[in-house]
Amino acid sequence: MSGKVLVFGSINTDLIVYVKALPQPGETVTGDTWDSFPGGKGANQAVAAARCGVPAAVYGCLGDDAFGRERLASLEATGVSTAGVTVRPGKRSGVAMITVDTHGENSIAVALGTNMLFEPADVDFPKPPPGETWVTLFQNEIPRATTEALIQTAHAAGCMVIWNIAPTIGERPDRRILDCVDCIVCNRNELRELVGSAGPVEQQACVPLEWGVGSVIVTLGSEGSIWASKEGSVRQEAFPVDSVDAVGAGDCFCGVLAASIASGMPMKAALRRASAAAAISTTRRGAQPSMPMAAEVDEFLKARR
């Protein structure tokens, strides 16, 4: 089965400082090294999907500054189609300021720049040919109105819709939007903010199902992940690795999940593959440079049967 992944979201440049411990409020810490990587949740997820061997396209907004030119070039170098990227003259592209400690944990501050200028009118939405599975992937680093409008358009076009609720949103989306969402992906904190209540993750994950969402995947870090649907729940255990940098691991998970589904893989197998890819990504520095190739994921899983 042939397929494609269309990602609608942010395109940033990540400026990363490596420190011994993350700074506390009001504290200044020093790091030995820093680096710059291509980033942004939308771009990261598109690169992860493309490296899985599935055609991938990113739709977003950049400025015509140096960062914007660099990001177009880096995306094209990975094989991601940038035909859907709008360039705003005289505007600044998005950047993320990231600190990473010796355990691979991170804190992130994002200046969204032109990402917040991305509008539904910028997108000439394609329609999947008969027999092809197209998976659309959304996050929350562009205007919410744009995301919700494009979710409805993607659903109407016959695409599968995956919404990565990251960064978190504190209010429940309208039912007409949720009815268009085949799968929500979020972490434990994002789920808690979305449903507005505490409790066991398994119970919280069922709440969006009552709102009209098809299924929910909750990523739990070292505890793996849970996939909840109306048929029940499935837990995927984490793959132990020596982590050095968790930046982009969640985006890797989402991109590989979408690519696996687009290639015809059932959800349970796609979940395992996405978990393996995310684990591999944490053993490398940077977001997009850490995304593994399909053959690497195959080899990783082969050794863990």
Q: Cα separation of 83 and 90, whole Å?
A: 20
Evaluate whether residue 58 is within a structural domain: yes
Domain CATH number, residue 141: 3.40.1190.20
Evaluate whether residue 122 is within a structural domain: yes
pLDDT for residue 285: 84
Query: 65, 101, 182, 251: which one is catalytic?
Result: 251
pLDDT digits (tens, 9 = 90+) for 92-121: 999 989 898 988 788 888 899 999 999 999
The residues, any chain, with a CB within 8 Å of residue 64's CB and separated by 6 or more, are 87, 88, 89, 90, 91
Evaluate whether residue 297 is within a structural domain: no
Evaluate whether residue 299 is within a structural domain: no
SS3 269: helix
- Active site annotation includes 251: yes
E strand segments, 132-207 = 133-138, 160-164, 183-187
Evaluate whether residue 215 is within a structural domain: yes
- Averaged over successive runs of 10 residues, the pLDDT of the chain (305 residues) comes to 91 92 92 89 97 96 97 96 97 92 85 96 92 96 96 97 92 93 96 89 94 96 93 93 88 98 96 97 89 96 88
Q: Which domain holds residue 168?
A: 3-288
Evaluate whether residue 126 is within a structural domain: yes
Evaluate whether residue 305 is within a structural domain: no
pTM, two decimals, is 0.92
* Beta sheet of 94-100, edge-to-edge order: 31-39, 12-19, 94-100, 106-111
CB distance 191 to 219 below 8 Å = no
Tally the domains of the chain: 1
Evaluate whether residue 253 is within a structural domain: yes
Residue 101's nearest CA partner among 243, 281, 290 is 243
